[in-house]
Every structure is written in C-alpha cells, then in structure tokens.
Structure 1
C-alpha cells in the first residue's frame, strides 16, 4: 500500500488558502497513485481558531467545505480534519473520504489540556468504543471510534494527544480489533528537542503494536504564537520507513512511501542522533518570522538595533529567514509571498549569488536604527553598525538626548527639584528607553512593517524591561528563550553560520547602557547571573516547587546567604511584574515552556508575593 502525508501550512479561517493547500495535496496524492493520504489535525479551519470553535457557524462552514473537498477525492482515500458539532457539543474529528464518499468521522478521545493547550474549552472527548449516527445537510453519517478497511487492511486513528496517553491510548483497543495501520493527524506544537520524543512515540508504537504507523503534523506559524514543524513519519514494526526534513518553508510538504502488509519489516533497534537545539532554534524562529510577516500582510521588519545580544539575534534571525527560504523555495515564490520585489526585479536578481541576493532582500525587508545617548558606548554603536552592514540591513543612527532632556526638564519644573541618579535612578533609566519608542514606531508606520521587540524570557521573568520602551513592538520573537541560551547561540551563529558581524557583540557584557558610563552598568549586576536566574525560573514554574525547595536544590552553587538573596530577588521581581508579562507583544513558543500568561503560564497580577514562603529561607 502506498501511504502519504502532507504537512500543510494553514491559517485559521483562511478558507481559500486552506482549501488550496488541501487540493494541491490531494492532486499530488493522485499523481503518485497513493492509497491513503493523511492531512493534519483541523486542516480545514486551521487548528488555532480558539474560541471560534464555540461558534456554530464555524462547524457548518467546515462541513460545507468538506463537501467541496469530497469531490476531489476520486481514486484515493483522504483523511482530513475538522470540527463536528452535535447537540451543541463540538468534537475534534478526522473525516475519511474514499472515491468521493464520506466513510465516517473519527472523534478525538483525549484532549490536550497542559502547557499551551486548552482543548477542553472548545471540544468534548469522545467515549471509546462508541459509534453514533448524525444527519447533516440531508445525509446521514457515522461518527465515533470507527475501524475502516482498505485492500483487506484495517486502519484506525489516534488524533494527536490520543497517542500521548500511554496505557489508555486508543491503539490498545485498535490492535485487539485487528487493526494493522494506525493513522495520526496532529497539530503538535514545536519545542526544542520535542521531535526526539515524538519520533520515539511513533516508532516505538509501531513496534509495540506490531503495526504500520503514519504520523502527519501541521506546518509553520499557523496563528501567531505556536510553530508547527510539519513532521511526517511512517514506521513499521519499529522500523523507520520515512521521515521528512522539518520546518519547511513550503506551503505543502508532501511525502509518500510504499509499505508491505504481506511481508512487513522485521523489528530492529534504531539509533537516533541527538538534536542540535541551536539548529532547531534558528530553523523554527526563521520560519515563524516568515509566516508572521506574510500572514499579517506586512512589508518588512523594523528593529531598534542597540548592538546588544537580543537585538543582534533578532537581526540575524531575519537574515537567516531570507537565506533559508531562498534555499528551499524559488525567488519568485519568496517575492510573491513577501511582496518585496516586482516581477522585473525577480528576473534581474535571480542569477545573483545566494549571499549577495540575501543581503539585497534583507535590505528590502529589515530597517534598523541605533538610538544613542550620552550613556551609550562606542562599542555598542560599532557592534550595531557592523552587524547591519554585514547582513545588508538598512541602518540609521540618531541620538535621543534632546528628547530625554526635554522630558526631564518638564518634570523637574513640575516637581520643583532636579532629578539625580542617587535618588531617581529608575526614573532616569526608564525615560531613555521610553523615548526610543516613538521614533522607531514612526519608521515602522512609514514602512508598513512589523516592529520587533527584543525582550527575552529572562527579562520577562523579572520585569527587567521598560514598558512602552524596549518592550514596544508588534512581535517579540525571542521572548520564549532565556538570555544564557541567546548568548551561547550568538557565538555558535558566528562560528557555524558565518555571521562575522557578531564578533563585536560576542565580546560585550550585556548592559542596558542607561546609567552614566562611569557606572559600568551590566545586566547581571542589576539582577543576578543569568544561568542562575534561569535555574530558579525553571524550578519555580516548570517543576513548580516552593522557594525553600528551590534553595535546597541549588544549595552549594553559591554561598548560602547570597543564594537566598538571589532567590528572594527573583520571586519578588516575578510577583511584582506580572502586569508587564500581560502586556508584552506576542511571542513565539520555542522552548519546552514559556512565561507568557496568554499561552503557557498564568499567574495573578496581584498576589501575596511569596512573602511567607520567602520568610522560610
């Protein structure tokens, strides 16, 4: 039997785009004489519709679109995902179409309700081993825990989370009923190193259940925050039959392979090379930026390039977005999706060497500006200028001292005294960061571009950012990763990706550069060492242990009294700054957790601030 999966780059409620991708995948399957084609979970409406799944009309619209898709499926079995609403209850379903006929709907049994997932808010779980009839648009259909058959081979479904439920997963019941092929349409979000877990989930299941397993994931930045890697895996009896390249810039990644059910492969043990998170990170963030750019119909990016680590990474991510896209899709497709070149320019530039073409396109898509003050150093200016030049970005340079002086003068006149660094440190730091926002927003407005905010997860945890200043932006691409990871990644990018312009920033200590230069301000002196901050953060909110337990876990890494002070500082700043996390620009989910209250981690804006818990230290 010839099995196929098509990872689709869908967009919530973008019916034309979604059906066009589905139709292209179906046509490819027919051209390749495929028996069964699996498409991702919720591929008709898009997985990220959120509360719109509660609307009756969305399910009706999906069903009408399903009837369109049905007519394309001559000579092939297609498995396509959509919501089905029965008696004011919505189910997450995979529909099986064969020769223009709907055979039935399999409904998801286990709903994801951890981390970034809130499926029980929208869907209901289907009861195992039950099948019902329902009527829609004058026809009667079957829905439930259905076993299908093709060429004498029984097949059935696990839908995404179903497969992660270990002892309770549907596969145990399927095998008892003679199922030889399990199909899994998924919308499994990207997180660094997660692909290893998913790989074993599929391959080990094929061995344990003595079956063939077809897994297909969603692709791209579908709805803004979550990234999907488009993984397609076919495994049989513990053997890997097919696995694709992840995080593709294509709209459709179609993969197929033949498997024999008469002479199945014999079980073997497979070794898997460890995943390089540096590679995964840039692959994910560059695809996420590409999709965010085109799906928001923006014309490019604008960045306040300070010369520091965070803004430098954002700049390199845009450059890598261009390079990686050009390596995978044509210049014509890139220009059409980003609207950055005319057809005449495409014809003129398509023969250019890849690095020259990359810099030319970065110049069309990325505008940067260094906004210095008397507290800015020559080192950070050189770092910003040289990096921008090396990747071809537009680079502006202006100072904001006059604006800072104007605001300072107004307030000093109003309160009747001079502001001093001894008494008004935070006020004098913050006004510099805030004054940078209006000018860079003006450039973004002029260019119809997205303003990149540059806060990272470590800063978000402790509120080490000026609201309406360095937090200003349309999208915050690196807010899902910590500062220690960013610093080591920049060194890796210089050495492995050839971004020599990072040489300057990699020799600097991270600094906000908001105090007078003679104060030699550094981030870690203001806060604590970044690796320790990340350890406390992970123990507190990933492992979810109390402050006293955090101290016991970290005891010995620093002198006891110093460690206690760091822990108290972290929890106090965390509690005080939840309101900031509520207001950050949308961020990509990149790691196995994040601190975004709208996706992974909810926390009260007002709380007791761990006072009693910290007193136990």
Structure 2
C-alpha cells in the first residue's frame, strides 16, 4: 500500500433553496476533484439546500428535496470512485440534525450529525437543529424508500463515528465544532484518525480570516494530521457573504489554500499528502499516553483506499509543498467582499443594475467605489473566460447593447449597470459636493443625473403653511430645533422617493430591452446607524446596503487605498472633505458638520460600538474602561459626558434600526436589528437610569480623590 494520497476540498457558491443549482455545483466539484486525482472530496456545510434557509429548515419539503437531490448525486456514475463528504439536514426520530453524508459508489457509508451548533451573532442553528450530544454514540438510521433501493439496505450507521479505510482513518467535523474548547478532532486524533474534514458555512467579517486560520492550523499543530477545510463562497441569499478560503493543512502547515473572494461558482482545492508524515509527527510519548486513555470511536469499514498501491504510484508525484498563509488587508476585504456580494445579489435578483444617490460625501463615494470594484472583478472574470459571469453580464448589461456584446473595461460595464443621481438643493448644496459627485461618476463610467429638488421640497413644506398658517424656518433663519429638524427630514425623505422613482424609470429612459428596474443602494455606515444619525425612511432606506456594517474609519482607509489601487485620484478629495449632511442652508459663518451635530467623532463612535457589542459593556462599564484609556485626552467628567451622550442617542434612535436597509455584514459591532444585534427598540430614559447615576457618582469620587 502506498502512502501518498491526493485530497480535495472546495468552496461552492450555493444559494438557499436552489436545490437543482446547488446539486449541479456539487456534482461539478466532484468531477473536478476526480479529474485532479483526488480520492476524497469534502464540501461545505448544508450544501445541498444552502446554509441560509433559516425557517425553511422547519419545513418538511426541504428534507424531501434534499433526499431527492442526494439521490441524483448517488446515481450519477461520474461521482463514483471517490469518497464523498456531503452536507444536508436530516430528520431522525422526529429531530432535525445538521449532517454529513459520507458516501462511496452510490452507497451511504455513514451519517455524521453535528455535535455542537453555532448559536450566537448571525447564527441560530439551535432554532432549527438538535445537537448530537452523545459523543461516540452510534445508532441506526432508516433510509427513505428510494434510497433503500439504491443502498440495497434499509438502514445505515448514524452518529459520532469515524471511517476506516485499508490505509488510514477519517474523522469529520462541522464548522462550529472547530471553534469549541474541546474540539472533536482532539479525541479523534488521539484515537488514530489521520485525516479530518471540516465542512463550514462561515461568513466574512473584517479581519476574521486570521482567527479562523489560526484555529485550523492549531487543529493539527499539536498532534498531527491532515485537515481539509471546505466553505461556502458568495451570497447565499442574505446579508452574509461566505468567504471561501478552502484549504488543506498537514501537521500545522498549509499545503493548499483557495481564494477568499471570487466569482467562481465552483472552486476545487487539492493537495497530495504523505500519511507517513503524520505518523512520524506523532512520536511524542506524552501523546501516546493520552491516546491510550482517549475515548474509543466506532469505526465504519470500507475496502476503498485513499492511496494507490506502491507499484501504481507515479514516481514523479510528490507531496504538495508548504505554503505561507494568504491574507487580505482590510482595505482589500472591503473592496472585494461587498463587491462579490453585490454581484451575486444583482445576478440572482434579475434586476437591471444599481442606483446610488451620490451626495459628494465619503459614504456614497465608498458605495460607488465598491460598485466600481465589482465591475473590475467582473472584467477579470470575463478575461479568465468564466462562462457563468459572461452569461450573466450579457443578460444584465447586454440589454443596453447588441446581442453578443461584452465589456472590456470596468468603466464600460459601469456605464451600463451603474446609475448615480445627485439630488441637490439651491441653498444647502455646495458647489464642491456637486462637482465631486459629477467627476467621480465620470471617472468610473457611471450614468450620472444631476438635479435640484427645491420644487418638491417647497411643495411639501408649503402644505403645512397652507393648512395651518404656520411657516417653519431653519435654525439659521431663527427657527426652533423642531422646525430645523423637520425641514431637514423633508429633504432627506424626498431623496428616497426620488431615488426609487429614477431607479424604476432610468432603464426605460435609456431604452433597455426587456424593462426591469434598478436596485437602490444605501450608503449609511455602521457608525451612523449605531448613533442613529440619519433620517428614518430617507435615502438610507434602500434595497441593500454594501457599507451598512463598515465603520467610517475603515471606509476612509479603503478610499485612500482605492485612490491608488483603482487609479482614481479624485477619491482623495472625498477623504479631506468635512463630513456633512448638507440639510441646512450654507451661511457665510455656518456650514453643517456631522461630528459637530453628533457631539462626538466617528473614531469615538467606533470605540463605543466595539465596547457595546464586542466587549459587552453597558454605560457604566464603558465609562470605567474609557476613563483609563482616554485619560490623556479627556478628563473623567468629559469622558462621562461622551459616554452618556452616546448611550442616550443610541437608545432614543434604536427604533430606526428596525427599518434599516439589509446591509452586508462586515463589522463585529454592527447594530443590525434583524438578526445580529437583538435588543429592545423602546428604552427607558438613560438620563434617568441607574447606570448614569453610577457614572455620576464615580466621576464625583474621582474628582474628590484628585483634589486631595
């Protein structure tokens, strides 16, 4: 028996409930793995139905369709001759389990349910599935009748078992299990398992890959082994982007790593490994002493070998070399993650393109730059002859051109699918913002429209005067704060209505064949959402928002990076512009400023957001932390004022998050109310709260102590 084995893992761009499409991608991945000489193929978590099915996991239809698709895979002879690790949900004894199907040559060898479920942040697996809280326990599962006919048997093994081949032993983990303190691979490795698979549905968050990668490397660094990591890649139908990065590791070293962001629907990663390296790595007597005390796993036997006979091995085949891990810097992650997510959303929604209300500020600028980045990625895929991308481009953008047309530059593609609208006001909008918007649109090739909305604003404003005789005024003209805010909100909400009107009509204006409307993109960043510094139902209300979970600090860094990376020097002008909503009249001695209005900087907002969500601190805990961290820039009383101001405005504006545009998930402190950040939206007044009283008492104590 030989000792070299070629293994395959993959990233698949699956789509929730796209049963036939998902199955076709699974079969393609198996065929490509076989073509690469692999004897084992590992796929993503819940790959047959898609990971993001949410409450559809409670429907009986879903389980039926998964079995029907598995039947299609099992009976496809092009999928024979290779061990398959396939993900799907299974109903067993009236309980729902997230499972791995281990199959070979149309036969199911075993079914391995997930032991530990992801149930925090964006994940709600405990809502749908039951964890298999019976380590090393195995029982019988009765197969559906159609599968029994293929299997030639009524039942198969179901539980926490491993697969034994003549040349090695395989164990299986699923996503969250890797992240637990006592991961299953520890006991499996001590029990003699040499090859591990991990099938994941892991989403992108800025700076997250290095954490995930360190855990995967550590899985075999202590006690050796070969580890295959598979993941979804793309928009599964929700706010998350699954960021691929399929990889193969041996003894703590990477030997194959796939892309993190890609427009490929199927990406296979293969490596040739030497099993003898694992056995040599496991030489330590201390490991052996733990191994004899480790729990025993039931081994399911198969006669299929992962390696070839020694006489059949190609003498020119050698183990895959070690590789350095590949990471993207955060600016590249922002350029690529939301861009790939936008492309998936556009092509799957069958929309005609995108529209962005381009204000001349950095947020809408960043949104436009991400769309331009998407066009750059699409053009690269066209050059690489990606058939799916070419077909999608011709269907979406080709409706403006002759049949068979293809763009050759990002600007050419942008011209057909990206629309920008500057909606100014005669006295509120500056020449600078209007000019920046127009020149940015021209540089990236977008179809740009410039207009003023004074007529609509005045018509709405005059309704109150005609009905009541009262004429509201801006603050700079002597009006009250209530009047000032109401007049600003008319403008903001008018822009939302206008954006949707143009999104519906511009394809008609441009004589697009087949009609269709544009998707309106929002441009509210995570810090504005957190603080509530936006108008409810204004142009922050859109179809989707690529920057809704990205901080202003990261967006500025992205724009600075993109000005060089995308050869767009105009982006530098946006970085140095003062953030302003331009909703109040510009006066000789007054220009509206976001940070002045909020009473805090965007950098401070990021700090508050991370303390609130990631550090899990309330107002008093925030103050205790920041009174030390900010001691060189703020007095304790100044820190207290900032902490109380943030928590007050967070609380009174929390209701806005219940209606916010679905946003690409990127930051760990996103205030997304729909799934990630579940909190009340009607709070008691924080200024009367016990936590604020505690802050005041602590400030008094600190100041009295300092005065002694």
TM-score if structure 1 supplies the norm length? 0.95
Separation (CA, whole Å) in 1 of partners of 2:51 and 2:37 = 28
SS in structure 1 at match of 2:274: coil
Structure 2 residue corresponding to 1:35, chosen from 39, 60, 77: 39
Aligned match of 1:248: 262
Aligned match of 2:205: 191
Structure 2 residue corresponding to 1:79, chosen from 70, 77, 85: 85
Separation (CA, whole Å) in 2 of partners of 1:186 and 1:541 = 24
SS in structure 1 at match of 2:570: helix
Within-5 A mapping of 1:565-580: 565-580=641-656
SS in structure 2 at match of 1:158: strand
Instruction: Say if 2:206 and 2:667, in contact at 8 Å, map to a contact too.
Output: yes
Aligned match of 1:117: 123
Alignment of 1:358 onto 2:410: yes
SS in structure 2 at match of 1:218: strand
Aligned match of 1:534: 606
Aligned match of 2:473: 420
Aligned match of 1:525: 596
What is the CA distance between 1:541 and its match in structure 2? 2.2
Separation (CA, whole Å) in 1 of partners of 2:38 and 2:23 = 19
Unaligned runs of 5+ in 1: none
Instruction: Say if 2:499 and 2:539, in contact at 8 Å, map to a contact too.
Output: no
What is the CA distance between 1:150 and its match in structure 2? 2.9
Separation (CA, whole Å) in 2 of partners of 1:551 and 1:364 = 51
Separation (CA, whole Å) in 2 of partners of 1:331 and 1:64 = 29
Aligned match of 1:21: 25
Separation (CA, whole Å) in 2 of partners of 1:348 and 1:456 = 36
Separation (CA, whole Å) in 2 of partners of 1:597 and 1:20 = 35
Instruction: Say if 2:398 and 2:406, in contact at 8 Å, map to a contact too.
Output: no
Alignment of 1:431 onto 2:490: yes
Q: Which moved more, 1:483-492 or 1:524-533?
A: 483-492
SS in structure 1 at match of 2:193: coil
Instruction: Say if 1:225 and 1:588, in contact at 8 Å, map to a contact too.
Output: yes
Aligned match of 1:311: 364
Unaligned runs of 5+ in 2: 149-154, 282-320, 508-516, 696-708
Aligned match of 2:396: 340
Separation (CA, whole Å) in 2 of partners of 1:594 and 1:209 = 37
Separation (CA, whole Å) in 2 of partners of 1:85 and 1:420 = 64
Q: Give deviations 1:227-254, integer Å, cap 9, x for gaps.
A: 1111111111122111122111100011
Aligned match of 2:168: 153
Separation (CA, whole Å) in 2 of partners of 1:547 and 1:269 = 48
Alignment of 1:47 onto 2:99: no
Alignment of 1:217 onto 2:231: yes
SS in structure 2 at match of 1:166: coil
Alignment of 1:504 onto 2:580: no
SS in structure 1 at match of 2:275: coil
What is the CA distance between 1:349 and its match in structure 2? 4.5
Q: Which moved more, 1:68-77 or 1:375-384?
A: 68-77
Alignment of 1:376 onto 2:429: yes
Distance 1:70 1:332, change over 3 A: closer
Instruction: Say if 1:212 and 1:235, in contact at 8 Å, map to a contact too.
Output: yes
Alignment of 1:476 onto 2:476: no
Separation (CA, whole Å) in 2 of partners of 1:240 and 1:486 = 32
Within-5 A mapping of 1:576-587: 576-587=652-663
Q: Give deviations 1:433-486, integer Å, cap 9, x for gaps.
A: 111122210121233111001111111111111112122210011110111221
Structure 1 residue corresponding to 2:159, chosen from 127, 144, 153: 144
Aligned match of 2:529: 460
Separation (CA, whole Å) in 1 of partners of 2:324 and 2:271 = 21
Structure 1 residue corresponding to 2:10, chosen from 6, 22, 30: 6
Aligned match of 1:545: 617
RMSD value over aligned CA atoms? 2.0
Separation (CA, whole Å) in 1 of partners of 2:32 and 2:485 = 60
Instruction: Say if 1:456 and 1:482, in contact at 8 Å, map to a contact too.
Output: yes
Find the structure with the greater CA-based Rg: 2
Aligned match of 2:690: 612
Aligned match of 1:396: 449
Separation (CA, whole Å) in 1 of partners of 2:221 and 2:642 = 48
What is the CA distance between 1:177 and its match in structure 2? 2.4
Instruction: Say if 2:610 and 2:668, in contact at 8 Å, map to a contact too.
Output: no
Instruction: Say if 2:243 and 2:261, in contact at 8 Å, map to a contact too.
Output: yes
Distance 1:25 1:345, change over 3 A: farther
Instruction: Say if 1:224 and 1:292, in contact at 8 Å, map to a contact too.
Output: no
Separation (CA, whole Å) in 2 of partners of 1:270 and 1:28 = 22
Q: Give deviations 1:200-243, integer Å, cap 9, x for gaps.
A: 11112112231111111111111221111111111111221111
Distance 1:331 1:142, change over 3 A: closer
Instruction: Say if 2:44 and 2:201, in contact at 8 Å, map to a contact too.
Output: yes
Separation (CA, whole Å) in 2 of partners of 1:482 and 1:154 = 46
What is the CA distance between 1:348 and its match in structure 2? 5.3
Instruction: Say if 1:362 and 1:391, in contact at 8 Å, map to a contact too.
Output: yes
User: How many pairs are equivalent?
Assistant: 611
Aligned match of 2:217: 203
TM-score if structure 2 supplies the norm length? 0.83
Instruction: Say if 2:116 and 2:177, in contact at 8 Å, map to a contact too.
Output: yes
Distance 1:488 1:30, change over 3 A: closer
Alignment of 1:487 onto 2:556: yes
What is the CA distance between 1:506 and its match in structure 2? 2.1
